[in-house]
Structure 1
Amino acid sequence: MTIIAEPTEEFPYQIRSFPAKSAADGVEPASAKWTEAVAFGFHAGAPEDLDIEKSLTSEEKDGRIHTGAYAASALDGAWDADYPVATYASYRKTVNVGAGKLLPAHLISAVTVRPTHRRRGLLRTIITADLRRAKADGLAIAALTASEATIYGRFGFGAATHAATIEVDSSHGFALKSAQPGRGIVEIAEPGVLRELEPRIFNRVHAGTFGSIGRQDSYRYRVSGYWNYGKPGRDRTVRAALYYGQDGKCEGYVSYRVLETETPATLKVIDLLAADHAAHLALWQFLGSVDLVQRIRREGVPMADPLPWALADKRRYQVTEVEDHLWLRILDTTAALQARHYWLDGTVTLKVMDALGFAGGVYRLHTLDGVGTVTELPASEPADLELGAAELAQLYLAGVSAQTLLAAGTVGELRTGGAAAVDAVFAAPVPAHSLTDF
């Protein structure tokens, strides 16, 4: 256990961290109460011991670190002082920064503050200390997915990718333009096979998807219906289908459930991973052929989804929602910019402001043949663009253009044409996309 902060008169909380760890003789009380506090913060049911055991076993594989803020005492009848009033978790995965380059990233999850202890600096104390440790460990970037969009900008995070929720009319007449999108075949499978297939297929997709973030171990259990947070038992409504290429190897899968109580009857996609375009279209052709279903719903869809262009009737495809998804925080500007792949050559200079002191400075970025070289310059050097750490994170994966941010008033152009020059350097052939919630 690591003590991050001791209580003082002005800040009457102890903040401590400990690794997620399963135990052969039952759930450790500290982990159980931390997990209960997380469930409370996200309005989930109180977790059962079996749920906590499965969660801890999976989180231990990810190397997750749990952090909690603990009050010195508690009133009689209330949750005791061993329940954290704020929770926070972190672990390490990779983010695809283009052309298959996988950059180690510091991931943040399970952020809650009990309503009775808000506005006392708990999150600021925890997240600042955590980001400082991550940078000291050599991490150039941190990432999270946000339940609320107004919390993390003040800590230098910016929305770097977006995703859509779609509904596809699969009633009579559903068809793809190509009757045989691939030469492989789709077959029904026992969902349990996804516990082994998911990591293997995901790693292939992750390596080929700009903006993808590494998945936590629990994903393979969720998509297979084996267990999910708050639901430790088997979900027998989950179904699965696999796509096999010409060589007979599995190249993709879809897991789903049918919601017959909805009108019209709806098939909800839980997860769809495809190693190539043929697998993606073949799996959608299968979904469109499922009997007694008139609508297919899928969340987390790429902004450059090819499916509507593959449908014989494009109007069957409706985007019902678009939300920010992956949020990034640059911790080391030089390392982050030099790690990224660039599709165009050019030179731009950025003046980065960072209230937390991690990423600030003046940086000249020169890109050639996909490689970025960064030179840190004196503060007096002229720059093309002035921006904050959050805006740098938004630009990092080309999630928004500098010219759009200029029009929004969140960046400043220090040289005429500077925003356009930045866009030319950061441009990507397709919008970045993350396949992972955490």
Structure 2
Amino acid sequence: MVDYRPIPDERDVFHEYRSYAFRPEEGVPAYDPEDHETPRDALGSRRGVYEEGAADDAEPRSVCRHYWLESRVRDDVHRTVGLASVATPPEYRRRGYVRQLLARSLAEYRDRDVRFSVLWPFRYRFYGQYGWDTCTRIVTHECEPGVLSVAADAVDRDAGSFRRLEADEYEALEPAYETYAERYSLALERDEEWWRYRVFAGHEQNPFIYAYERDGRVRGYLVYTMNGIDGDRTMVVSELVAADHDAVLALLSFCYDHESQVQRVRLRVSDDVPIRALAREPDEIETTVEDGPMVRVVDVAETLSALSYPDRDATVTIAVEDSLAEWNDGTFRLAASGGRADCRRLRDRSDTQPEVDIRLDIGALSQLVVGFQSAATLERTGRLEATGASLETISTLFPETTVFLGDQF
């Protein structure tokens, strides 16, 4: 058994654990509050697990950070937590401390009525065993800036203009971001601190942020850095937000206008941004697709009861396997009507099972709920078992949607 508690007074220890886990090549880190306790670093809540009954000044066995967020899932905003900085020093590894840390974290999320947990994994298999599963594909396009000249030819340059923004002007970007975020499941609802210290501020260097204005309104913006030196410089776009297609063209044209300054442009976007479709020379674009963050439903009964649904009357019984959260490991009855639903746990999986329509694990259910995978795909890949007409029913209740969570934390 362990104690799970906040670690606000051990920030140097937290910094040491995190540095060893993610940047060991830098050697033993020197903790400096001025460098390592910036407003960006101070976001979120630090947690640790300790030996049961350990003194207040004892070292934690494993640590993590929780970012208390909100995200949009199926047209509604839900409490979401970003799990980050999970780290265990080598002398405490392979003793089950991370598992206990994750289990206790989930219990805290449940107590706080959080619906979804998201994280960026160092290894997908590691977090997959604890019930998180992939929820986003990240597409990266890289090319010479001249390849984007097609956008410059298509856009009306006199229709809009660009200007660089500072953090104090973040509110100017919010309408464009909100229009953009409505298209994506799991897109975060950003508050002032997130804008100031996660979007406008970076770890190594603060990014440039340029807004595209048309008809007196911001219709899109770019967040980017310049990496490298003269002769080998890349414009790295970490966020491209556009309220409409004309804004997409304008933003790509802005990248093209850096042709005399950079040798490459790298764009990190959702897979529905039609960069290759726009290009005259798509073979000159190097495109890679990789898995992004992972998601997990915190409490099956509460989350499925809180979602919005298509307007259809339907009832389905779902058996869920969850080895980390006992309150999810069981059979649930989901009854939907008029766009809402009630989900109730029937019994533990260890008990005699009632008639079950759908069987799946918590990771597959999480993908289904946020819309990243369809029920048909999960069944085809062996992640979901369905009886009778229940596959059609669950497919109707949980249609596939466009999911994109690009925020790093």
Given the two structures, how large is their TM-score scaled by the length of structure 1?
A: 0.77
Of the structure 1 ranges 202-211 and 151-160, higher mean CA displacement relative to structure 2 is found in: 202-211
Report the 3-state secondary structure (helix = DSSP H, G, I; strand = E; otherwise coil) of the residue aligned with 1:68. Answer: strand
Alignment CA distance shift 1:173-1:140 (3 Å): closer
Verify the 8 A CA contact 1:333 1:359 in the aligned structure 2: yes
**Pairs within 5 Å for 1:189-208:** 189=164, 197=172, 202-203=177-178, 205-208=180-183
The Cα of 1:244 is off from its aligned counterpart by 0.6
The Cα of 1:51 is off from its aligned counterpart by 2.1
* Equivalent in the alignment of 2:116: 141
**Alpha-carbon distance in 2 for matches of 1:258, 1:103:** 35
Alignment CA distance shift 1:196-1:49 (3 Å): farther
The Cα of 1:409 is off from its aligned counterpart by 2.6
* Equivalent in the alignment of 2:380: 407
The Cα of 1:370 is off from its aligned counterpart by 4.4
* Equivalent in the alignment of 2:18: 38
Query: Counterpart amino acid of 2:17?
Result: A
* Equivalent in the alignment of 2:327: 358
**Alpha-carbon distance in 1 for matches of 2:163, 2:33:** 33
Report the 3-state secondary structure (helix = DSSP H, G, I; strand = E; otherwise coil) of the residue aligned with 1:119. Answer: coil
Verify the 8 A CA contact 1:166 1:317 in the aligned structure 2: yes
User: Does 2:298 match 1:339?
Assistant: no
Report the 3-state secondary structure (helix = DSSP H, G, I; strand = E; otherwise coil) of the residue aligned with 1:396. Answer: helix
* Equivalent in the alignment of 1:11: none
Verify the 8 A CA contact 2:184 2:402 in the aligned structure 1: no
The Cα of 1:103 is off from its aligned counterpart by 0.5
The Cα of 1:391 is off from its aligned counterpart by 1.4
Tell me the alpha carbon deviations over residues 54-87 of structure 1, each in whole angstroms, 9 at most, x when there is no partner. Answer: 1xx3465x5x221234579xxxxxxxx8654421
**Alpha-carbon distance in 1 for matches of 2:41, 2:128:** 27
**Pairs within 5 Å for 1:37-436:** 37-43=17-23, 45=26, 46=29, 48-54=32-38, 57-58=39-40, 62=43, 64-69=44-49, 84-99=60-75, 101-171=76-146, 174-176=149-151, 179-180=154-155, 184-189=159-164, 197=172, 202-203=177-178, 205-215=180-190, 217=193, 220-221=196-197, 223-224=199-200, 227-229=201-203, 231=204, 235=206, 238-246=207-215, 248-261=216-229, 265-292=233-260, 293-299=262-268, 301-325=269-293, 327-343=294-310, 345=312, 347=314, 348-355=316-323, 356-367=325-336, 370-374=339-343, 376-377=345-346, 380-413=353-386, 415-416=387-388, 418-428=390-400, 430-436=401-407
Alignment CA distance shift 1:262-1:389 (3 Å): farther
5+ residue gaps in structure 1? 7-14, 20-27, 73-80
**Alpha-carbon distance in 1 for matches of 2:358, 2:275:** 37
Query: Counterpart amino acid of 1:330?
Result: V
Alignment CA distance shift 1:197-1:119 (3 Å): farther
**Alpha-carbon distance in 1 for matches of 2:313, 2:280:** 41
**Alpha-carbon distance in 1 for matches of 2:195, 2:123:** 22
Query: Counterpart amino acid of 1:436?
Result: D
Verify the 8 A CA contact 1:258 1:268 in the aligned structure 2: yes
Alignment CA distance shift 1:172-1:311 (3 Å): closer
The Cα of 1:367 is off from its aligned counterpart by 4.7
Q: CA RMSD in A?
A: 3.3
**Alpha-carbon distance in 2 for matches of 1:288, 1:193:** 28
**Alpha-carbon distance in 1 for matches of 2:111, 2:310:** 30
Verify the 8 A CA contact 1:177 1:310 in the aligned structure 2: no
Query: Counterpart amino acid of 1:279?
Result: A
**Alpha-carbon distance in 2 for matches of 1:251, 1:31:** 40
Verify the 8 A CA contact 1:178 1:310 in the aligned structure 2: no
Verify the 8 A CA contact 1:175 1:313 in the aligned structure 2: no
Bigger share in helix: 2
Report the 3-state secondary structure (helix = DSSP H, G, I; strand = E; otherwise coil) of the residue aligned with 2:94. Answer: coil
Verify the 8 A CA contact 2:162 2:212 in the aligned structure 1: yes
Report the 3-state secondary structure (helix = DSSP H, G, I; strand = E; otherwise coil) of the residue aligned with 1:16. Answer: strand
* Equivalent in the alignment of 2:6: 17
The Cα of 1:175 is off from its aligned counterpart by 0.5
Tell me the alpha carbon deviations over residues 391-417 of structure 1, each in whole angstroms, 9 at most, x when there is no partner. Answer: 11121122123333333333323x145
